[in-house]
Structure 1
Amino acid sequence: MSADLRLSSLKEWDDEQVLRALTDGNRLALAELYERYWYALYRVAFQKTKSPEMAEELVQDLFVQLWQKRESLAVRRVDYYLFGALKYSIIDAIKSRIVHEKFQEYQQFFAPQADFSTEDQLSYNDLLGTIETELLKLPPKTQEVFRMSRFEGQTIPEISRKLALTDKAVEYHLSKALKLLRTQLRDYSFVLFLMMICR
C-alpha cells in the first residue's frame, strides 16, 4: 500500500485511532493531526500574541513536542491536549517577550552612555564578561537552568516542565550556579543580590 493511500485511510480514522498510530511512531499520523488542528491552533495563538510569526512558531513547536513525547503520551482527547498545551506555550511566550522588553529597558537605563568615562565603560564590560565567564565554568544543564530562571524570568515549575526535570533538580542547579557566582561576584554585591532574589 502506498504512503498516499495510508495517509488517505488515516483521514477516515477518529482522533483516538490516529493518536494510537502516532504513539507507535507513525509520522503520517502526526501529519494528519497537524492537518486537522493547525489552523484552529494558529488562530488562537495569533489572537493572543498578535504576531503571525510567533503564532506559527508556537504551533510548529507544539507538534514537534507532540512527536518527541509520543511514546509517553497519556492523552484521552487530542483536542484538549493540544489546546491546553498551546495555552501554556502562549503564556510562556508572552512572559518571555515581556521579560526581554524589560531587560532591554534595564540595559538602556543602566548601561554606560556615551558621556560616561572610559573607566565606567570598562567596569560595565568587566561585569558582563565576569558573569559570562563564570557561567561557562558550570555544567551545560546548570547554565541552561540559570539562564532560563534569571535571564528569561521563568519559574521553577516552568523550567521543570520544559527540561523534564523535577523541581528539586531545578533548585539544585540554581543553587549550584548561585554558589559559584556568590564567590566570584563579591565585588558586584548588588548585582548578585538581584540575581539571588529574582524569581
Structure 2
Amino acid sequence: MSTSEDSATFLANGDRDLFNDLYIRYWEKLFLVANKHLKDAVVAEDVVHDVFLSLWNNRKKVAIQQFENYLVTAVKYQVLTQIRKKAYARKYTREAAMDSAAELVPEISHVVHNKKILELLYKEIDLLPEKCRLIFQYSREAGMTSKEIAQTLKISKKTVDNQIHKALERLKFRLKHMLFMFLG
C-alpha cells in the first residue's frame, strides 16, 4: 500500500490482512502508552483491544489520515475513561466504607456529629504504625486491592491482608472506647 488513504480504503472494505498488519505494527506501542498511564497491564491490554475492536467495527465510518496518530489518540481517550471509572469506583468504595462504619453504631448520629467522629478516626489512623497506616491508606483512601498494594510495596499479599486486619481491629477497638467515653 502506498498511502494512508489507500490503507484506509482497504480497511473500510474489510481487508483483514491490513487490519492484522496494523495490529501487529502498533499493538506494543499502544500497550506501552496505556500501561504507562494506567499502571495495570491487564487493563492496558483491554484498552488496546477495545481500540482495535472499535477501529474494526467503525472501519466504514472513520476516515483515517494517519493510523498511528489515530490509534494513539484513541488509546489516550480510553485511558482517560478508565481513570474516570477508577476514580468513581474509589469514591463509591470510600462512601460504602463510611456507610459500613456508620452501621457499627446506628445511634451515633444523634449523639455526636459525624465530623467529630471522622476527625477522631483520622487521628487514630495517624497513630497506626507507619507500615500499617500506609497499607490501610492505600486500601481505603486509594482504593487499591491487596494484590496491588503488595506489588507496590514489594511485600506479600498475606502481609498486606494481615496489616489491614490489624488496622481495622485497632480502629474498631479505639472507636468503641471513644464512643463509650462520649456516652458515659
TM-score range, shorter chain: 0.5 to 0.7
Q: Name the aligned partner's letter for residue 110 of structure 1.
A: D
**CA displacement at 1:17 relative to structure 2:** 3.2
2:132 corresponds to which residue?
none
Q: Name the aligned partner's letter for residue 116 of structure 1.
A: P
Structure 1: how far apart are the matches of 2:87 and 2:56? 29
1:73 corresponds to which residue?
62
Under a length normalisation based on structure 1, what TM-score does the superposition of the two structures give? 0.49
Structure 2: how far apart are the matches of 1:35 and 1:14? 18
On the 8 A contact 1:16/1:78 being kept in 2, the answer is no
Root-mean-square deviation (CA, aligned residues, Å) is: 1.9
Q: Deviations over 1:141-173 (max 9, x none)?
A: xxxxxxxxxxxxxxxxxxxxxxxxxxxxxxxxx
**CA displacement at 1:68 relative to structure 2:** 0.8
2:170 corresponds to which residue?
none
1:92 corresponds to which residue?
81
**CA displacement at 1:15 relative to structure 2:** 4.4
Q: Name the aligned partner's letter for residue 85 of structure 1.
A: A
**Which residue of the other structure, out of 86, 95, 113, is the alignment partner of 2:103?**
113
Show structure 1 runs of 5+ residues with no match: 1-11, 118-199
1:40 corresponds to which residue?
29
Show structure 2 runs of 5+ residues with no match: 108-184
**CA displacement at 1:14 relative to structure 2:** 5.3
Structure 1: how far apart are the matches of 2:99 and 2:20? 48
Q: Percent identity?
A: 27
Structure 1: how far apart are the matches of 2:9 and 2:27? 19
Q: Which has the higher contact order (CA 8 A, sep 6+)?
A: 2
Structure 2: how far apart are the matches of 1:19 and 1:108? 50
Under a length normalisation based on structure 2, what TM-score does the superposition of the two structures give? 0.53
On the 8 A contact 2:38/2:79 being kept in 1, the answer is yes
**CA displacement at 1:93 relative to structure 2:** 0.6
On the 8 A contact 2:4/2:65 being kept in 1, the answer is no
Q: Deviations over 1:53-87 (max 9, x none)?
A: 11100000000000111111121111111111111
Structure 1: how far apart are the matches of 2:50 and 2:63? 19
Structure 2: how far apart are the matches of 1:16 and 1:42? 25
On the 8 A contact 1:18/1:29 being kept in 2, the answer is yes
**CA displacement at 1:32 relative to structure 2:** 1.2
On the 8 A contact 1:19/1:29 being kept in 2, the answer is no
Q: Name the aligned partner's letter for residue 26 of structure 2.
A: Y
